[in-house]
Amino acid sequence: MAVTIKSPREIDLMRTSCKYLAEMHDMLAEVIAPGISTWDIDAIGDEFIRKKGCIPNFKDYNGYPASICVSVNEVVIHGIPSKKKILNEGDIVSLDAGMIYKGYHSDAARTHAVGRISEENQQLIDVTRQSFFEGIKFARAGNHLHEISAAIGNYAYGFGYGVVEVFVGHGIGTHLHEDPEIPNFPCKSRGIKLKPGMTLAIEPMITMGTEEVEVLEDGWTVITADGKNAAHYENTVLITDGDPEILTLI
């Protein structure tokens, strides 16, 4: 599939989809606390999405059973919400979510502290978030995609962290996953040339130890192979004539 360039009308719809998603993440940040179940987080998010008149794009995507991926500690991505999984003080939890507004998708992820967390967990969260911002310094028309990838990966490697390679970011628009794939590590090729109107979901997944991951028997839950913690940070970004626009931040 070719990389799509969105028209001004499409960009407006993406903006709305992404703004609602940013609002939801800000709201969910406030409900994260010791004692809440990952099921409740999903239920609160799902209700928000529907109240906005949107559709949760993860639900039933290839059979994924929930609207929000809730991934605790060594779970990197695609954690399945469960009434039995209760957040504890000291955990870190990644929330990955998206929605469809008038046919246009949004996608963003945040990793939060549950109560007080260790300094090493806080650093993992902070570096993962910052790696995204290091990457988008290169998200400019005329640059090549893998300049973003290299900047993300090299920043994370500087802290001795692992960068997950088997899952990557992606284009986004009328589909949740569009071309191009967006790696979070340096690549041999340059990648496509960036153009105004491209919308990209850039999403570093960073681990404290190995970059190797495993998928649990539920077919979804992705954990680190060494059991060490991981963090995830993602925004939907618009390439423009000038600075990139981060559509899923308010």
Contact 221, 212 (CB under 8 A): no
CA–CA distance, 212 with 165 (Å, rounded to integer)? 8
For residue 34, what are the contacts with CB-CB under 8 A and spacing of at least 6?
87, 88, 89, 114, 115
Which two tokens mark 37?
């179940």
- 158-187: which residues touch ligand MF3 (CB under 6 A)? none
For residue 10, what is the enclosing H or E element? helix 8-31
The CB-of-61 to ligand MF3 minimum distance in angstroms stands at 4
Beta strands in the chain (DSSP E): 55-56, 68-72, 75-77, 92-101, 104-113, 162-163, 169-171, 178-182, 199-202, 205-207, 213-215, 222-224, 230-232, 235-238, 245-246
Q: Which of residues 201, 206, 230, 247 is near ligand MF3 by CB under 6 A?
A: 201
Q: Which of residues 2, 8, 30, 62 is near ligand MF3 by CB under 6 A?
A: 62
For Co ion, what does the binding mask look like between residues 102 and 141, x meaning CB under 5 A? -----x----------------------------------
For residue 14, what is the enclosing H or E element? helix 8-31
Site membership for Co ion, residue 99 (CB under 5 A): no
- 80-99: which residues touch ligand MF3 (CB under 6 A)? 96
Site membership for ligand MF3, residue 60 (CB under 6 A): no
How many residues sit close enough to ligand MF3 to count as binding (CB under 6 A)? Answer: 10
For residue 2, what are the contacts with CB-CB under 8 A and spacing of at least 6?
179
Site membership for ligand MF3, residue 28 (CB under 6 A): no
> Which amino acid, residue 35?
G
Which among ligand MF3, Co ion, none contacts residue 110 (Cβ within 5 to 8 A by kind)?
none
Q: Which of residues 41, 69, 87, 152 is near ligand MF3 by CB under 6 A?
A: 69
Site membership for ligand MF3, residue 213 (CB under 6 A): no
For residue 19, what is the enclosing H or E element? helix 8-31
The CB-of-56 to ligand MF3 minimum distance in angstroms stands at 9
Which among Co ion, ligand MF3, none contacts residue 58 (Cβ within 5 to 8 A by kind)?
ligand MF3
Site membership for ligand MF3, residue 58 (CB under 6 A): yes
The CB-of-201 to Co ion minimum distance in angstroms stands at 4
Closer by beta carbon to Co ion, 8 or else 63: 63
Contact 31, 37 (CB under 8 A): no
Site membership for Co ion, residue 201 (CB under 5 A): yes
- 103-142: which residues touch ligand MF3 (CB under 6 A)? 107
CA angle 243, 247, 250 (to 5 degrees): 105
Chain residues that interact with Co ion, rule: CB under 5 A: 107, 201, 203
Please report, as ranges, the residues that interact with ligand MF3 according to CB under 6 A: 58, 61-62, 64, 69, 78, 96, 107, 201, 203
